[in-house]
Structure 1
Amino acid sequence: MNTLLVNVQGAVTPECSKTHIAYRFFLAKTGGRMKIDFSYSPKNLEDGAKAKMLIEQGLDRYVEDELREQAKSKWQSYLPLKNLITLSVDDPFGHRGAAHRHDPEQHLFISGLESSPGLSEGALQAGMWTVTLSLHAVVTDDCRYSLQIWHEEDHG
Structure 2
Amino acid sequence: MNILFQQEGRIGKEYDRRHIVYEGIFEEDYKGIEINFEYSPKLVESDEKAEIIIKDLIDKQIIGEEKEKVIWDKYKNLKNLVTISFDDKNGFRGCAHRHDKEQSHIISQEYASPGFIKGLVPKGAFKVILSVHALVTDECFYKVKIIKRGEECD
User: TM-score if structure 2 supplies the norm length?
Assistant: 0.90
Return the match for 2:104 from 104, 107, 110. 107
1:53-103 deviation digits (Å, cap 9, x = unpaired): 1112222333343422211xx110112111110001111111111100000
Write the letter of the residue equivalent to 2:134.
A
Q: Percent identity of the aligned residues?
A: 38
Give the 4+ runs in structure 1 shifted more than 6 A: none
Which ranges of structure 2 fall in alignment gaps of 5 or more residues?
Answer: none
- What is the distance in 2 between the residues matched to 1:7 and 1:47? 32
Which ranges of structure 1 fall in alignment gaps of 5 or more residues?
Answer: none
Cα deviation, residue 122, structure 1: 1.4
Cα deviation, residue 46, structure 1: 2.1
Moved more, 146-155 or 48-57: 146-155
User: TM-score if structure 1 supplies the norm length?
Assistant: 0.89
1:133 aligns to what? 130
Cα deviation, residue 36, structure 1: 0.7
Alignment of 1:36-75 (within 5 A): 36-71=35-70, 74-75=71-72
- What is the distance in 2 between the residues matched to 1:69 and 1:6? 50
RMSD: 1.6
Alignment of 1:15-34 (within 5 A): 15-34=14-33
- What is the distance in 2 between the residues matched to 1:97 and 1:65? 43
Cα deviation, residue 128, structure 1: 0.4
